[in-house]
Each structure stands twice: as structure tokens, then as C-alpha cells.
Structure 1
Amino acid sequence: MLSQARTRRRAVVTASAALCALTLAVSGCSGTTKDSVKDDAPADAGDAKANPDAPLKKGLKIAFLPKQINNPYEKIVDDAGIAAAGEIGATGKEVGPSNAKASSQVSYINTLIQQKQDAILIAANDPNAVCGPLKQAMKQDIKVVAYDSDTAKDCRQLFINQASSEEIGRSQVRNIAKQLGNKGEIAILSATQNATNQNTWIEFMKDELTKPEYKDMKLVKVAYGDDQDQKSFQETQGLLKAYPNLKGIISPTTVGIAAAARYIGDSSYKGKVVLNGLGTPNQMRKYIENGTLDQFSLWDPKKLGYLGTYAAAALASGQITGAEGEKFKAGELGEYTIGKDGEIILGPPTVFDAKNIGDFDF
């Protein structure tokens, strides 16, 4: 009898263990909480539905994470986004590293998750290094919006692009080619080697240069100043010494173009080497006025930050999910439509020169 009782107890234990194993596969044997389900959910659950008539939630917490905290261009973007947050009853802030290294943003993302932010807006230094923590943020129902420089597509819901990446890249070549008469050696002074936006633009620049009209132009070097003023200054000096026949430099980064202009403006290369790229009017005004360069391009970074905040708030409020074709209103900027892969384009870049630079103050 004792032996039969033990046998029955073993059967019950075995059955319970099997049931527990089966339950673990679904929810965990010790019990399931709302948080544990959310943590195990994929970053994009795929079952969320947009409600375009939903009001923007009040009291949202929105954080901007730039490539580096002391980048003057991104300071303009983030300040405008923080101001826009105040307009809609949200709280905005900026946090970030002092350098633009690939993994420098990871610890800040983790902190923002712990703070239970409603949305994180990030200008990624590297498309993949930030993916792990960003996916964790999305699992915690924190909305993730990339701006200026994208992450991998599955690591955010939206990407706010300044302008079409293709148009930015190709227009950089078209602009400097016109200044050079489509002849001569050129170089590119970029930011970091892993910067998503820079690399995308550069690929379009290289492709543009394969066209027959540029057969007498040659790209001799892509240099990287790491979005640091002094390093960009030194890289400019190095390019001009290494390539004595260099006729032009494209610098698609506000830090790089300002540093290059400072070097060229105080050297014998002034008036001999054409400089073009992306910069802000207030930063580049003196170099236009003293003849160091004739033109440069950019979009309005204030509008980029403003749009970023409204997009993040629309996500956090359930107006949109990030699906292609969804629409939302971005305050005074009007209505925007989400494109392929969650991309939203701010608008075409503006070319600044001596004729119009006085009309802008940023």
C-alpha cells in the first residue's frame, strides 16, 4: 500500500512538473504580471491600432538624446523640441554624451528607461550599437523616434529625416560641381565613420559622381573629423597637404564645415579651394562675408526638433503607430504623412549665400 501511495505521489509530481513546464512556455510558473508580459513582448507587437482622433496626452515626458551634448547644431534642434513640448503640456529635456563614439549613448538610454520616459528621440551615433537598449525601451512602451541620424529600422518606430537622403547627397555634389565647372579633385570631410546619415549621404554622393557629367571630377578621400572641432580642423589641414591638386571639400556636418572654413580662411588656400556642405547661418555667416566660401546648405533645425516632439507625442498618445500612410498634425508645421519604414521627411534643404543669409537667425 505504501509503495502504491508513493507511486501515486510521483505521478502527481511528474504531472505538475509537466504542467509547470508547459505554463512556463506561456507565462512563467510563478505567476504572470502585466510587466512580465510586456517585457517578453516583441518591440513591435503589430496589433496596435492608430486613433487619429485621440487627443495629445498631457504631462508626457519626452527626452532628446543627441549625438553629443555640445554639438551646436543638435543643441538648436533639441532646444526647439523642448520648447514644443511645453506648447503641448509635455516636459522635454536633453541628455547625452560629450563624445560621438558608437556606444556612448547606451548608458543614457538605460537611464531614460529607468526614469520611465514616454518617448526618447535619438540622433544615433551608430545604427546598431543602440539597438539593444532601444528595443528594451519599446518593450516598456516607451516610444522611440530617431532624428537627424537613423538607427536600424527595427529599433525605433519613426525616423524624422531632415530631407530626402538622396537629395541631400546628390545636391552636395551638384552644388560643388557647379562651382568647379565639373572639374578637379574633391574630398569629403565627414563626422564619424559610423554615422548613419553621413554614410547614407556619402553613398549618394559617390553614386552621383559616376554620372558622365562628372567624368573630370575625382573623389580622392573621405576623411573623418568625428564631429570634433579640433580634429576636423586638423583633418582639413591634412587633406590639403596630402592632395596638392585638391580643388574642393564637401563637409556634410556643421562641426566639420565650420572647422574647415576656419582653417581655409586663415591660409593661402582661401579663394583657391572651394568649400561647401551643411552648416547653420549664424555659424557660417562670417565665412560667407569674408569670402572663405560662397554657399552652403541646411534645413531649419528648429523645425526638425519641433516636428520630432509632435511626432513623439502623436505616438505616445496613440494617434499613430508608425505605419506607412498614417497622418498626424505637427502644430504650425501642418500635417505630415508617414512614409516607408516609418520615415517622415521635414522638407527640402535651403541653399544659403550672401544674398539670403541675412534673412536667417539660427
Structure 2
Amino acid sequence: MKKRPIVLSALTLALGLGAASLAQTTVLKKGLKITLLPKNINNPYNVTETQGGLDAAKEIGAVAKVVGPSDAGASSQVSYINTAIAQRQNALILAANDANALLPYLKRAMQSGVKIVTMDSDTAPEGRTIFINQANSEGIGRAQVQLLGKLTNYTGDIAILSATPNATNQNTWIKWMQEELKLPKYKNMKLVKIAYGNDDDQKSFTEMQGLIQAYPNLKGVISPTTVGISAGARYLSTSPLKGKVALTGLGTPNQMKQFVKDGTVTAFQLWNPGDVGYLATYAAAALASGQITGKTGDTFTAGKLGKYTIGANGEVVLGPPYTFDKANIDKFNF
């Protein structure tokens, strides 16, 4: 009988330790080492995206850095992944140039204890724990076609000016564009070409020129890449077909402002890429701090963006795309 208080005390102590352990997981660790690896470091979109990540890291007391290649090749990111492993980074945030080519290196990183979060452009799920999707992929693809349909009165030949042929996000969006085009209201619209500018300004400019020359009945072009849409707009702005061929897609307000104001582009869409990087950094910190494991239903708070829930296959969706036009474009600066 005299031993019962001792047993109860031990049980109470154990419960107390358990509660303390749980309490620790609700706080983000300070001094986390986080690497941000964009597709390439010269792309204005990627610069804005990673700056959002750096801003989030500053808020949570993490040590973050941006590294990356100058091109968007499938293997160009490998050395940076290996460096993150060697430097014992707590987390690596990656916008993947290829869905599968990086898998062996990312798996090695995870085995070494590096938490992997992809943003913007995903790998196969086994290469990461969480994917920060800028918007629902189906919604993006369908919205692009819906917008172009309105701009062309749902008639004529159309084309797509994409980034690289193996870009995960581009190909997923294009798949949904093609699905949207199957609907009856698009029966008078025909997709005649998918061109690739390789996320290179001059290549995209040349591809846009080629589309105009090859398809005299072209009425509209969708370029779901910030490099492609700005290069395409630059070509159209000095072309006799300015205002006659509708160009839309995904671009940043700052790079597209002049083309909206001079009538080259009526409307285009995007999200705030800085918010993508910001959300990805909070997710990575939550993983590295033990707040979440990446399973479906896990929740975490991302600073000014609020609370998010992890969906199927580790996907977290930032929000729906936004349409920019002459009436609102001056309200944005990124």
C-alpha cells in the first residue's frame, strides 16, 4: 500500500514529460539551416519566390541561403543538393527542374536527415515530404483556357508557349488545358502547337515569332511561364499583330505592366511567388522542428498567411490564381 504513491508519482512524472515533449513540438526551432534551390537564379519569378523564403526565415530566426544554377537543365541542381547534404542543412526547399532525375539525390538527402520541401514545380512524391503548390494544378490549367476563350471570343487557332519539355508544373497545367478545350464551348478553338522556349528569354522570343509566322490564323497564345509571356509580349508589342493575337498566361505584374498599358496584353494571371517561397519556408521549418510529419491532415501556421492543412500526397495549396488587367495592375509590385 505504501508503494502506491510512488507509482502514481512516477506516472504523473511520465505524463508531465510527455506533455512537455508535445509542447516543444508546437514551437519552431531557432537557428534552423535552410537552403532554397530555385529552378535557376536568373529568373525574376524565382528571385521573388526565394526572397519570400528569406523573409520567412528572418521571421522565424532561421539561417537561410539561396543557391542554384544559371540554367534550368534537369541535372543542373544535383550539385546543390549534394552540398546541402554535406553542409548538414536542416531543410532543402526545391523548385524542381525535372520530376524524376533528381530522385536518387533527394532520397540520399532525406536519408541524411535533410527535410525536403518542393515548391512551384514538384518531384515524384518519393523525392520529398511536402509540395507547396502555388494553386490547384487543374484550376490553373483550366483558368488559362477560360481566360483565353473570353479574349478570343472562343474562336480560332491557339498555341501554347511553354518552358522546358520536362517541366513538371508546365506539363500538368497543359494537360488540364487540353482537358478544358474538350468542352463544347471551345469547339471553334483549335490547339495547333505546343512550343518550348526553355525558360530562356531569347529562345522564347524566337519561338513566339515562329508561332506567328507558321500559323497565319493564330488568334491566341497561352504562355504559362513568366519568361515566356514577357518575351512573347515583347515580340508582339512591335508586331503588326499587336492587339490582334491575344497573349495571356502566367506573369508578374512588374514585368507585364508596360505590355498591359500599351495594349499588347489585355489580361494575364499569377499568384504572388513571394508567398510560395514564404509558405514553403514555414512548412520546411515546421517539418524540421517536429511540428508536422507531412501526413495528410497535418496543420501548421505560416506567419502572415495563416493556417494550412496538408492534403493528399503531401500537397499544400497556396490559393487560386489571380487575374491582372489594366484596372488593377498598378496595385501590385512584384
Deviations 1:60-80 (A, max 9, x none): 011111111101001001011
Deviations 1:172-220 (A, max 9, x none): 0000001111111000000000100000000000011011111110000
Contact 2:300 2:307 in 1 (8 A): yes
Alignment-mate amino acid for residue 330 of structure 2: G
Alignment-mate amino acid for residue 287 of structure 1: F
Contact 2:56 2:278 in 1 (8 A): yes
Residues 1:272 and 2:244 are matched in the alignment: yes
2:139 to 162, 167, 174: 167
1:343 to 312, 315, 324: 315
Partner of 1:245: 217
Counterpart CA distance in 2 for 1:84 and 1:51 is 22
Partner of 1:234: 206
Counterpart CA distance in 1 for 2:308 and 2:154 is 37
Counterpart CA distance in 2 for 1:50 and 1:210 is 51
Contact 2:296 2:314 in 1 (8 A): yes
Alignment-mate amino acid for residue 290 of structure 1: D
Partner of 2:189: 217
Deviations 1:269-306 (A, max 9, x none): 10110000000000100000100010000001111111
Query: In the superposition, relative to structure 1, how do residues 50 and 346 fare at CA in structure 2: closer, same or farther (>3 Å)?
Result: farther
Please give the secondary structure, in 2, of the residue aligned with 1:78: helix
Contact 1:50 1:321 in 2 (8 A): no
Q: How does 1:1-362 map to 2 (within 5 A)?
A: 53-362=25-334
Please give the secondary structure, in 2, of the residue aligned with 1:74: helix
- Report sequence identity in percent: 61
Counterpart CA distance in 1 for 2:25 and 2:154 is 52
Contact 1:65 1:120 in 2 (8 A): yes
Please give the secondary structure, in 1, of the residue aligned with 2:269: strand
Contact 1:264 1:292 in 2 (8 A): yes
Alignment-mate amino acid for residue 75 of structure 1: V
Deviations 1:106-130 (A, max 9, x none): 1111111111111000000100011
Q: TM-score, normalised by structure 1?
A: 0.85
Counterpart CA distance in 1 for 2:146 and 2:198 is 25
User: Which consecutive unaligned segments of at least 5 residues does structure 2 have?
Assistant: 1-20
User: Which consecutive unaligned segments of at least 5 residues does structure 1 have?
Assistant: 1-48
Shift of 1:50: 8.8
Alignment-mate amino acid for residue 147 of structure 2: N
Query: In the superposition, relative to structure 1, how do residues 50 and 357 fare at CA in structure 2: closer, same or farther (>3 Å)?
Result: farther
Shift of 1:52: 8.6
Counterpart CA distance in 2 for 1:71 and 1:282 is 13
Deviations 1:126-178 (A, max 9, x none): 00011111000100110000000000011000000000000000000000001
Q: TM-score, normalised by structure 2?
A: 0.92
Segments of 4+ moved more than 6 angstroms = 49-52
Please give the secondary structure, in 1, of the residue aligned with 2:294: coil
Contact 2:25 2:289 in 1 (8 A): no
Counterpart CA distance in 1 for 2:284 and 2:299 is 13
Shift of 1:53: 4.4
Contact 1:52 1:327 in 2 (8 A): no
Counterpart CA distance in 2 for 1:342 and 1:56 is 20
Please give the secondary structure, in 1, of the residue aligned with 2:264: coil
Counterpart CA distance in 1 for 2:302 and 2:22 is 16
Q: Structure 1 stretch 300-309 or stretch 149-158: which is displaced more?
A: 300-309
Alignment-mate amino acid for residue 183 of structure 2: K
Contact 1:51 1:319 in 2 (8 A): no
Alignment-mate amino acid for residue 77 of structure 1: E
Shift of 1:54: 2.7
Partner of 1:32: none
Alignment-mate amino acid for residue 44 of structure 2: P
Counterpart CA distance in 1 for 2:304 and 2:23 is 21
Query: In the superposition, relative to structure 1, how do residues 50 and 304 fare at CA in structure 2: closer, same or farther (>3 Å)?
Result: farther
Please give the secondary structure, in 1, of the residue aligned with 2:243: coil
